[in-house]
Amino acid sequence: MNKLKLNILYAFLLLVNINLTASDNDSLYFQFEPDSVNLEIGDSIKIKVSLLKKDGSLSKNQFLLTGEWRSVEVKPWISNSDGIANVQLKVFKPGSFNLNASSITDDRFKRVRGNLSIFVPAPPIEKVGFIDPPSTAYEKTRIKFLAKVLDKAGVSRNDIKPTFESSNNSIASFDDFGNLSIKQRGRVQLSVSISNQRNKVIFSEINLRIFRNPVRKIELSMNEGSYRTGDVITFNALAKTASGKEITDVPIEFSFTGEANYGIGLPASGVVTPNGKFVAENPGEYTIYATSSGYTSSLTVKIKPRNIQKRAELIGHGLITDVFTSDLWVWQGVDEFSDRDFAVTGTWEANGEAYFWEVTDPSNLVIIDTVTVDARTVNDVKVSADGRIGVITREGASSRKNGVVILDVSDPYNVKILSEFNDGLTGGVHNAFIYENHVFAVNNGRKYDIINISDPTKPWRVNSYELNTPGHSIHDVWIENGIAYSSNWSDGVHVVDIGGLQFSEENRYTIMNNPILQSAGKGSVRSPVLMTSKHDTTGRNHAAFPFLSESTGSFYVIAGDEHFPFGLGEIQNKEPANPRGGYHFLNMNDYKNPVEEAIYQVPEAGSHNLWVQGDTLYTAFYQGGLRVVDISGELLGDLYKQGREIAFYLSNHPEGRIPNATMVWGPQPYKSYIFFADMNSGLYAVKLVNFEDNED
């Protein structure tokens, strides 16, 4: 994890107010003893870290520590109250890393930071070998070979490119990418090798027997129909002998050409997979080819525009300009308020306020109550499914009693604080979720605590869920049907059984179409059980949302990025920020082996929170505004390029906290409207309408 990423992680997860002023910061510095470290993989060492004043005395202020994902483990991750941490540091991977320290202040941009350089040399290479190689093949085919390189620490070394060779290039020869072109019958010995630091060649060999190729034709077929951009078409290719016998073990390669409708000479774009699934990004004519053994078959298909676009019409707006707005939640009232609708929004880097709104008439969004707590940021707001209990998160309390505040929201005009829970939550709670009388609170960006609120006046911790990977962190957790989906930056999505849905006739469809629920039931809130996970190589996994496709029955988890490559200019410099990121669609039909099949991203904008209702994705794209996306049918490739975007809305209000700067935080579809919060300008309600509606 690089320094910029760590700074952003601190900025969003680790805010605590202990009255350390900007002038105090200017005179503080970190001291590391020793001041640099060289270690071998698996080694550990004690490091003393101190936060000192200019005169060398202890600052008497706590600070935070972090290692690097799957590389450097740091225990503890927070200092004592004097400003000293005796750290046990352990390394797991080769490379140059940092032990990072950050002071805890009310102003996140005034923190003092320091780092200790750590160097871990790469161990010698010990083994190289083919991955699942065939022992036989046919002439006139091409096969892709893969290899795995391991060092003496047992670490797979993807940074080293192995060399593939054939004993007889006239029979079969490799290109630079491991593709073996097979020219004629015979036997060859194939080798994969690598040279280690001492120029010793380490290699592995296999024998390949090449047979006469019986293939004499390729038959290509598809289901006839009308297809639009974004529709996935499966092409079936059969290799056959002259007599018509099918050959099932011959490799077949797929490719395509296309001509777009817009007629300026550009090619049509799309994706075709090795197993023959094709999706077009532009309307036009496409020809798909299946090739093997010197034979080719092709089919041409016409692709029409998707034509699903609508207009997001503004219905109502509640302008907030004195503070930044954070998350929102919309719900239906209870008891005497059951005929009314309400919303709550949080505030960011402000005064610890949560605003309660009546939104029954979306054209008239009115604040009806305000709850103020000791905090700088109320980042997350949630309301229980029965509409009676609310929870708001706290970061930056002057008393350092961060955590969650439990509310009675049964009368939204007169919201009452029932209790607070701050035990062990010194670093603050950034996100939370309410599920079946429990609050799941993301604690200090390290884990989520499970807090029982059966009696909301007396909350108590049941258990916690924390990853065991070096340098781990967490941002968010979302729960459906007794399964917790947490977002863990580089560790990606974790799917945890906390009491999976039990079978009944009422939920038969939900369980039978959800492979995770079919295997759940072993975990509980007292004993969470990890079911599966998929790490994120970019380190940006910020949000996750489970999604059962109504049109296909496939089960997905949508994993969202958050990335600020150019810094947090929005807050620090009162300039619009420029984030990046998108959403990754992880197919969970084989939940133990999640597969990323599609992505949705808006060029030059950054993804944040999301919601799925039916087969529609509602998403906040920060400076890219609210986006509404069609996710029906089979999903493959880049959904943005395929014309699956239904509508967008840019909330660039001229009186915003930063004028004319869209910065959408999160959406929620509710009844026939879409509510969303914008950091710079408050709460919005929009409705999707056809373009011809309300036009002169």
pLDDT band at 20 (very low <50, low <70, confident <90, very high): very low
Of 246, 269, 304, the residue that ends a domain is: 304
- Cβ(559)–Cβ(536) below 8 Å: yes
What b/e sequence results for 597-613 when a residue is b if at least 16 CB atoms lie within 10 Å of its CB, and e otherwise? bbbbbbeebbbbbbbbe
Give the DSSP H or E segment for 10: helix 3-13
Of 31-45, 141-155, 448-462, 562-576, highest mean pLDDT:
448-462
Of 211, 243, 264, the residue that ends a domain is: 211
**Same domain flag for 576 and 627:** yes
**Same domain flag for 429 and 357:** yes
Instruction: Annotate 427-474 with DSSP letters as a single string.
Output: T-EEEEEE-SSEEEEEETTTEEEEEE-SSTTS-EEEEEE---STT---
Q: Once rounded to an integer, what is the mean pLDDT over residues 168-190? A: 97
Of 120, 141, 159, the residue that ends a domain is: 120
Give the DSSP H or E segment for 569: helix 569-572
Bond into 76 cis (ω within 30): yes
Tell me, yes or no, whether 694 lies in a domain. no
Reported for 564-572, long-range contacts at CB under 8 A and 24+ positions apart, including other chains, are 564/4, 564/8, 564/606, 565/4, 567/4, 568/8, 568/11, 568/109, 570/658, 570/661, 570/663, 570/679, 571/109, 571/324, 571/349, 572/109
Give the whole-angstrom CA distance, residue 586 versus residue 555.
9
pLDDT(223) > 90: yes
Tell me, yes or no, whether 286 lies in a domain. yes
Q: Once rounded to an integer, what is the mean pLDDT over residues 83-90? A: 94
Residue 653, classed as helix, strand or coil, is: coil
Displacement of CA 303 from its chain's centroid (Å): 31
Tell me, yes or no, whether 278 lies in a domain. yes
pLDDT digits (tens, 9 = 90+) for 475-490: 999 999 999 999 999 9
- Cβ(290)–Cβ(248) below 8 Å: no
pLDDT band at 196 (very low <50, low <70, confident <90, very high): low
Between vectors from CA 392 to CA 316 and to CA 656, what angle results, nearest 5°? 35
pLDDT band at 19 (very low <50, low <70, confident <90, very high): very low
Q: What pLDDT does 106 receive?
A: 65
Query: What is the number of structural domains in the chain?
Result: 4
Q: Regarding predicted confidence, which is higher, 540 or 424?
A: 540
**Same domain flag for 375 and 426:** yes
Tell me, yes or no, whether 89 lies in a domain. yes
pLDDT band at 153 (very low <50, low <70, confident <90, very high): confident
Pairing of strands 295-304, 270-272: unpaired
Q: What pLDDT does 150 receive?
A: 92
**Same domain flag for 633 and 572:** yes
pLDDT band at 62 (very low <50, low <70, confident <90, very high): confident
pLDDT digits (tens, 9 = 90+) for 581-623: 999 999 999 999 999 999 999 999 999 999 999 999 999 999 9
Tell me, yes or no, whether 696 lies in a domain. no
Give the list of residues 6+ apart from residue 154 with CB closer than 8 angstroms, or none.
none
Give the whole-angstrom CA distance, residue 300 versus residue 303.
10
Pairing of strands 227-228, 295-304: parallel
- Integer Rg of the chain from CA: 28
Q: Regarding predicted confidence, which is higher, 583 or 12?
A: 583
Length of the chain: 696
Give the whole-angstrom CA distance, residue 239 versus residue 401.
69
**Same domain flag for 572 and 486:** yes
Q: What pLDDT does 694 receive?
A: 56
Tell me, yes or no, whether 695 lies in a domain. no
Q: Which two tokens stand for residue 500?
A: 């999976």
**Same domain flag for 315 and 441:** yes
Q: What pLDDT does 25 receive?
A: 54
Residue 369, classed as helix, strand or coil, is: strand
Q: Which pTM does this prediction carry?
A: 0.91
Q: Once rounded to an integer, what is the mean pLDDT over residues 188-201? A: 81
Q: Regarding predicted confidence, which is higher, 542 or 27?
A: 542
pLDDT digits (tens, 9 = 90+) for 234-283: 999 999 999 999 999 999 999 999 988 876 666 789 999 999 999 999 99
Which of 184-193, 286-295, 306-315, 389-398 shows the lowest mean pLDDT across its residues?
A: 389-398
- Cβ(363)–Cβ(672) below 8 Å: no
**Same domain flag for 199 and 226:** no
**Same domain flag for 82 and 229:** no
**Same domain flag for 205 and 352:** no
Residue type, 203: F
Q: What pLDDT does 17 receive?
A: 32
Q: Once rounded to an integer, what is the mean pLDDT over residues 148-169? A: 91
Q: Which two tokens stand for residue 238?
A: 């059969």
- Cβ(239)–Cβ(246) below 8 Å: yes
Tell me, yes or no, whether 10 lies in a domain. yes
pLDDT digits (tens, 9 = 90+) for 652-687: 999 999 999 999 999 999 999 999 999 999 999 999
Residue type, 648: F
Residue type, 119: F
Q: Which two tokens stand for residue 229?
A: 């951009």
Dihedral, CA atoms, 443, 446, 451, 457, nearest 10 degrees?
A: -10
* Domain of residue 103, CATH code: 2.60.40.10
| Percent of the chain whose predicted confidence (pLDDT) is above 90 | 77
Tell me, yes or no, whether 171 lies in a domain. yes
Q: Which two tokens stand for residue 133?
A: 């190689």
Phi/psi for 323 (5° steps) reads -140, 165
- Domain limits at 534? 311-689
Q: What pLDDT does 198 receive?
A: 59
Give the list of residues 6+ apart from residue 325 with CB closer than 8 angstroms, or none.
345, 346, 347, 348, 665, 677, 678, 679, 680, 681, 682, 683
Q: Regarding predicted confidence, which is higher, 483 or 574?
A: 483
pLDDT band at 81 (very low <50, low <70, confident <90, very high): confident
* Domain of residue 598, CATH code: 2.130.10.10
Q: What pLDDT does 22 receive?
A: 40
Phi/psi for 611 (5° steps) reads -150, 145
pLDDT band at 2 (very low <50, low <70, confident <90, very high): very low
**Same domain flag for 226 and 327:** no
**Same domain flag for 456 and 478:** yes
> What are the distances in angstroms from CA 85 to CA 116, 515, 687?
13, 45, 53
**Same domain flag for 151 and 189:** yes
* Domain of residue 199, CATH code: 2.60.40.1080
Bond into 124 cis (ω within 30): no
